[in-house]
């Protein structure tokens, strides 16, 4: 093999490499213009819910406990107006084999890879997904490579990411670690080409369909426990797959009236590809650095069309600050007896605040937890922050400046979500669609697609397009 | 000195500073894209700093600079963070009605 391995040349072979490594012909769902047939892609390339449930059961995934957080609810009520303070529940996804809901996301990809004769799987991830792919690969007897963005140019790695590397290696995976930069994708492509392994991308229909069981289970467990569906589900939002899969699962269960809220950690001002800012952030996932770009342009992912399309399902999008998430993580351990990793508790911090807006008889669900341990715990993350010049203070989290300080709330009344302007995010998604299809005339069908893809109306899309033309 | 079959950590520069992608921010562009991986040493003998070849855990052969023999993890639960210590006591106080927060 004497192929040109330069950056430019490998990137130019992207489509050819991906086609072999994903095994999906995305062009089958494309038409000229902005739209593509999302539902057809999910339907034809994925698996149906019952098959996914069956295969996930075989590898010990799912049926995780649904726990009512009675003390946290009681706390929320202390700070809520009279009669307010919804009951807060948590879906304990840390009980999955790899320690997070990501086991669901990995399961279908790895199962599909095995079924189609791939010898191994590769995923590019610094988060829980790596451990999930490695764990599933170990169960099904496939080889596994995880590619991580792990270190800055001083060779300093965030304790959380280093822990994930350890966990992947514990499952027999090879972990290739890199310094900061988007060229991780180049290394990823080279590996796919060299090994012929399956691209266990987070963004294929397999990855998203795997999460549908989570939404489905939430509905089923509530019907058994409370005789009804929950009112609100809060999902931590990064690349959008967690929220998309959960919402789709709820819809498949017929739970159509559940409000779906996305929650991210506010990391405003930190550049995700910056070497010097890399170790200034204490959240490697679940933050706005992924949440916003992936919501406004889902197809920026490592497959031609992302199956994670959060705007399709999201009713509200809120942010919380790092200090609030660390505080609520400590609260979960101290008053509920559940020691879990902070990243997954982003939505718990949001739920604590949102519950205070809702009546006491309402039900709000935090749809995931994640495992914790050395490196991946509030203590190492905060002591690492201090070592990297970030001040830890106790005060009003509203004064937090990402990269400069982390402000732990003075008391629980200081935990307050910030609402993002969802309309603005939808507008910016529509703007990106227009920008990437400049030479194409927008048809009625495109407008219908955009309305669906932004959970809005044709009128909304048309008015946004007109506004964008005026600017 | 590492011997054939030893579990080692190796290092490589994937892209030199001048070869980095155009969209990379300036501070990142100043530094190379580096990588680390681990494997069993294929060379008969090698010293730290030598260019070597290894077989990774899944059986891939790669080359790089020998960095460590028997690499191990040193990450931990971190140093004491006294700032966290008020949280549990505060919350228990509120739940027990000991604080006037209502």
pLDDT digits (tens, 9 = 90+) for A421-469: 999 999 999 999 999 988 888 999 999 999 999 999 999 999 999 998 8
Length, in residues, of chain B:
102
Mean pLDDT taken over chain A? 95
Interface-testing mutation among B87, B89, B90, with chain A (most A C-beta atoms within 10 A): B87
Task: Tell me: do A251 and A343 sit in the same domain.
Answer: yes
Look at strands B51-55 and B33-41 and give their pairing.
antiparallel
A152 pLDDT exceeds 60? yes
A464 domain residue, yes or no = yes
Which chain B residues touch A if contact means CB-CB below 8 Å?
A: 14-15, 19-21, 23-25, 27-28, 30-39, 56-60, 73, 75-81, 83-84, 86-88, 90-92, 94-95, 101-102
pLDDT digits (tens, 9 = 90+) for A164-177: 999 999 999 999 99
* DSSP-derived secondary structure letter, B9: E
Give me the domain span that covers residue A351: 59-98+206-419
Long-range contact pairs involving B24-28 (C-beta distance under 8 Å, separation at least 24): B24/A181, B24/A182, B24/A183, B24/A273, B25/A271, B25/A273, B25/A274, B25/A275, B27/A274, B27/A275, B27/A276, B27/A277, B28/A180, B28/A181, B28/A273, B28/A274, B28/A275
Give the model's confidence band at A394: pLDDT under 50 very low, under 70 low, under 90 confident, else very high. Answer: very high
Tell which residue, A437, A410, A439, A455, has the closest CA to residue A35.
Answer: A437
* Single residue among A419, A445, A462 that ends a domain in this structure: A419
Place of tokens 């509905």: A219
Q: Is A374 helix (H, G, I), strand (E, B) or coil?
A: coil
Tell which residue, A153, A156, A103, A154, has the closest CA to residue A130.
Answer: A103
Task: Tell me: do A187 and A333 sit in the same domain.
Answer: no
Cα separation, A136 vs A104, in Å, equals: 9
A471 pLDDT exceeds 80? no
Task: Tell me: do A151 and A231 sit in the same domain.
Answer: no
Tell me the mean pLDDT in the region A33-49.
91
Question: What φ, ψ does residue A116 adopt, rounded to 5°?
Answer: -95, 15
Structure confidence at residue B98 (pLDDT):
58
Tell which residue, A174, A154, A62, A202, has the closest CA to residue A387.
Answer: A154
Task: Tell me: do A392 and A442 sit in the same domain.
Answer: no
A1 pLDDT exceeds 80? no
A122 domain residue, yes or no = yes
Give the model's confidence band at A302: pLDDT under 50 very low, under 70 low, under 90 confident, else very high. Answer: confident
CB contact under 8 A, A335 and B91: yes
B100 pLDDT exceeds 60? no
Structure confidence at residue B102 (pLDDT):
46
What CATH number does the domain containing A128 carry? 3.40.50.1100
Task: Tell me: do A367 and A438 sit in the same domain.
Answer: no
Place of tokens 């992302």: A306
Q: Which of B27, B88, B102 sits opposite A78 (nearest CB)?
A: B102
Task: Tell me: do A308 and A439 sit in the same domain.
Answer: no
Length, in residues, of chain A:
471
Cα separation, A17 vs A77, in Å, equals: 54
Tell me the mean pLDDT in the region A81-89.
98
Which residues in B lie closer than 8 A to residue A71 (C-beta atoms)?
Answer: 95
Cα separation, B63 vs B54, in Å, equals: 6
* Distance in Å, alpha carbon of A230 to nearest chain B alpha carbon: 25
* Single residue among A203, A236, A253 that ends a domain in this structure: A203
Task: Tell me: do A156 and A22 sit in the same domain.
Answer: yes
Task: Tell me: do A138 and A27 sit in the same domain.
Answer: yes
- The pTM of the full predicted model, rounded to 2 decimals, is 0.96
pLDDT digits (tens, 9 = 90+) for B29-86: 999 999 999 999 999 999 999 999 999 999 999 999 999 999 999 999 999 999 999 9
pLDDT digits (tens, 9 = 90+) for A316-359: 999 999 999 999 999 999 999 999 999 889 999 999 999 999 99
Q: Is A259 helix (H, G, I), strand (E, B) or coil?
A: strand
HSE-CB of A331 using CA atoms within 13 angstroms: 29
For residue A257, with 0-12 CB atoms within 10 Å meaning exposed, 13-18 middle and 19 or more buried, which class applies? Answer: exposed
A171 domain residue, yes or no = yes
Q: Which of A11-15, A110-114, A221-225, A438-442 has the lowest mean pLDDT?
A: A438-442
For the record, the structure tokens of A436 come out as 């990437």
Task: Tell me: do A396 and A283 sit in the same domain.
Answer: yes
A1 domain residue, yes or no = no
Which residues in A lie closer than 8 A to residue B59 (C-beta atoms)?
Answer: 143
Interface-testing mutation among B60, B71, B78, B92, with chain A (most A C-beta atoms within 10 A): B78
Q: How many domains does chain A have?
A: 3
Task: Tell me: do A111 and A141 sit in the same domain.
Answer: yes
List Cα–Cα distances, B6 to B3, B12, B51, B55, B62, in angstroms: 6, 19, 15, 10, 15
Place of tokens 């205070």: A356
Tell me the mean pLDDT in the region A106-125.
96
Q: Which residue of A has its CA nearest to B78?
A: A380
* Single residue among A394, A419, A444 that ends a domain in this structure: A419
Tell me the mean pLDDT in the region A74-79.
98
- Cα B36 from chain centre: 8
A64 pLDDT exceeds 90? yes
A466 domain residue, yes or no = yes
Look at strands A391-395 and A405-409 and give their pairing.
parallel
B99 pLDDT exceeds 80? no
* Cβ-based contacts under 8 A for chains A and B: 164
Q: What DSSP element (H or E) covers A120? A: strand A120-124
Tell which residue, A394, A161, A407, A202, has the closest CA to residue A294.
Answer: A202
A425 domain residue, yes or no = no
A427 domain residue, yes or no = no
Task: Tell me: do A308 and A195 sit in the same domain.
Answer: no
CB contact under 8 A, B28 and A120: no
A2 domain residue, yes or no = no
Q: Which residue of B has its CA nearest to A165?
A: B73
Could you report the predicted ipTM of this complex, rounded to two decimals? Answer: 0.94
Task: Tell me: do A219 and A280 sit in the same domain.
Answer: yes
Structure confidence at residue A2 (pLDDT):
73
């Amino acid at each position: 093999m004497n192929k040109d391995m330069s950056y430019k040349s490998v990137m130019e072979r992207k489509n050819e490499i991906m086609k072999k490594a994903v095994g999906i012909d995305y062009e089958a769902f494309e038409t000229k213009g902005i739209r593509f047939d999302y539902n057809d892609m999910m339907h034809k390339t994925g698996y149906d819910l019952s098959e996914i449930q069956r295969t996930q059961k075989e590898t010990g995934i799912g049926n995780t406990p649904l726990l009512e957080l009675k003390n946290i609810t009681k706390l929320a009520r202390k700070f809520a107006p009279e009669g307010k303070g919804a009951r807060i529940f948590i879906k304990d996804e840390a009980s999955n084999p790899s320690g997070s809901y990501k086991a669901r996301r990995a399961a279908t990809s790895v199962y599909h890879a095995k079924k189609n004769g791939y010898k191994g799987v590769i995923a590019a991830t610094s988060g829980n997904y790596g451990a999930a792919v490695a764990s599933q690969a170990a169960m099904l007897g496939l080889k596994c490579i995880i590619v991580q963005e792990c270190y800055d140019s001083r060779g300093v790695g965030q304790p959380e990411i280093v822990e994930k590397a350890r966990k992947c290696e514990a499952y027999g995976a090879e972990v290739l670690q890199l310094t900061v930069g988007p060229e991780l994708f180049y290394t990823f492509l080279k590996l796919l080409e060299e090994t012929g392994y399956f691209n266990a991308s987070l963004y294929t229909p397999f990855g998203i369909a795997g999460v549908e069981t989570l939404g489905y289970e939430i509905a089923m467990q509530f019907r058994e426990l409370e005789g009804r569906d929950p009112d609100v589900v809060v999902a931590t939002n990064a690349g959008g797959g967690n929220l998309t899969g959960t919402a789709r699962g709820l819809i498949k269960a017929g739970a159509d009236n559940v409000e779906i809220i996305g929650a991210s950690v506010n990391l405003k001002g930190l550049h995700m590809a910056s070497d010097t800012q890399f170790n200034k952030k204490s959240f490697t996932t679940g933050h706005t650095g992924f949440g916003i770009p992936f919501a406004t342009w889902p197809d920026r992912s490592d497959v031609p069309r992302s199956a994670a399309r959060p705007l399709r399902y999201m009713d509200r999008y809120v942010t919380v600050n790092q200090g609030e998430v660390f505080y609520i993580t400590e609260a979960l351990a101290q008053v509920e007896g559940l020691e879990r990793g902070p990243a997954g508790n982003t939505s718990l911090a949001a739920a604590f605040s949102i519950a205070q807006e809702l009546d006491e008889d309402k039900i709000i669900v935090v749809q995931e937890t994640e495992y914790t341990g050395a490196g991946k715990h509030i203590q190492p993350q905060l002591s690492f922050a201090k070592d990297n010049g970030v001040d830890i203070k106790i005060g009003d989290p509203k004064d937090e400046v990402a990269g400069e300080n982390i402000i732990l709330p003075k008391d629980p009344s200081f935990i307050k979500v910030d609402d993002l302007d969802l309309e603005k995010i939808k507008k910016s998604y529509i703007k990106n669609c227009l920008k990437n299809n400049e030479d194409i005339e927008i048809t009625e069908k495109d407008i219908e697609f955009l309305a669906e893809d932004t959970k809005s109306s044709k009128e909304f899309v048309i008015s946004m397009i007109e506004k964008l033309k005026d600017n | 000195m590492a011997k054939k079959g030893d579990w080692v950590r190796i290092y490589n520069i994937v892209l030199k500073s001048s070869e980095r992608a155009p969209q990379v921010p300036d501070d990142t562009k100043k530094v190379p894209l580096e990588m680390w991986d681990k494997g069993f040493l294929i060379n008969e003998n090698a010293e730290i700093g030598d260019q070597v070849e290894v077989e990774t855990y899944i059986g891939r052969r790669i080359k790089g600079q020998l960095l460590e023999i028997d690499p191990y993890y040193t990450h931990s639960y971190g140093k004491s963070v006294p700032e966290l210590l008020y949280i549990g006591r505060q919350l228990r106080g509120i739940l027990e009605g000991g604080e006037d927060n209502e």
